[in-house]
Amino acid sequence: MSWTEERVETLKKLWGEGQSASQIAKELGGVTRNAVIGKVHRLGLSNRTSGGAAPAAKPAKPAKAEAAPRAAKPAAKPAPKEEPATEAPAASAPAPAPTPARKAIIPAGQPLPPQPSANEISPEALASVREVEKKARKLTLMELTERTCKWPIGDPSTDDFWFCGLPVQQGKPYCEAHVGVAFQPMSSRRDRKR
């Protein structure tokens, strides 16, 4: 594939919308995210935030095309970073911010996740949860890792208890299906007509 005008245009558009390089690459097809990034740079639109405030002085990057593979790695990270890492399925508002909030306005034409106001767990979510629980890996607490869904299934006080264990959705503690039910926009649980 080559960078036809059309493809370049799409690239510009999507990049402008804040799409990630990989997403754009997927959409364009025939290219990798690297190709996309490379093109973006060549086009000179690497920085999404036009503004101009040139960020920082990029130190120097030691050319790696040397006889020294990777012996030299002058890296120092005295960063006292604090990570709240609070993961509570609570019915609090899910913070949907996959893309930079730079542009407050959401680009039109993008598939936005539905935002039901008076939602009650999408039937699909429930369905997929059931589905998922059937193919759950049934992991024990000890088997859980950073990337396994930590959704508990069954009764903790019995043998009949395990964790989903499917691949988590990046960032989240649960797999896609469980994220769907864990992060509910808000209340509205009470009035189940029955």
Partner DNA sequence: CCCTGATTCGC
Partner DNA sequence: GCGAATCAGG
Interaction site with DNA (CB under 7 A): 1-3, 19-23, 31-35, 37-42, 46-47, 58, 61-65, 69-70, 73, 75, 77, 146-147, 170
Angle at 58 between CA 77 and CA 85, to 5 degrees: 40
Dihedral, CA atoms, 182, 124, 126, 167, nearest 10 degrees? -60
Return the SS3 of 162.
strand
Return the SS3 of 34.
helix
Residue closer to DNA (CB basis): 19 or 184 = 19
Least CB distance from residue 93 to DNA, whole Å?
20
Residue closer to DNA (CB basis): 46 or 187 = 46
Kindly state the helix (H) or strand (E) to which residue 154 belongs, with its residue range: strand 152-154
Least CB distance from residue 28 to DNA, whole Å?
10
Least CB distance from residue 85 to DNA, whole Å?
12
Residue closer to DNA (CB basis): 47 or 187 = 47
Name residue 162's beta-bridge partners. Answer: 153
Residue closer to DNA (CB basis): 21 or 184 = 21
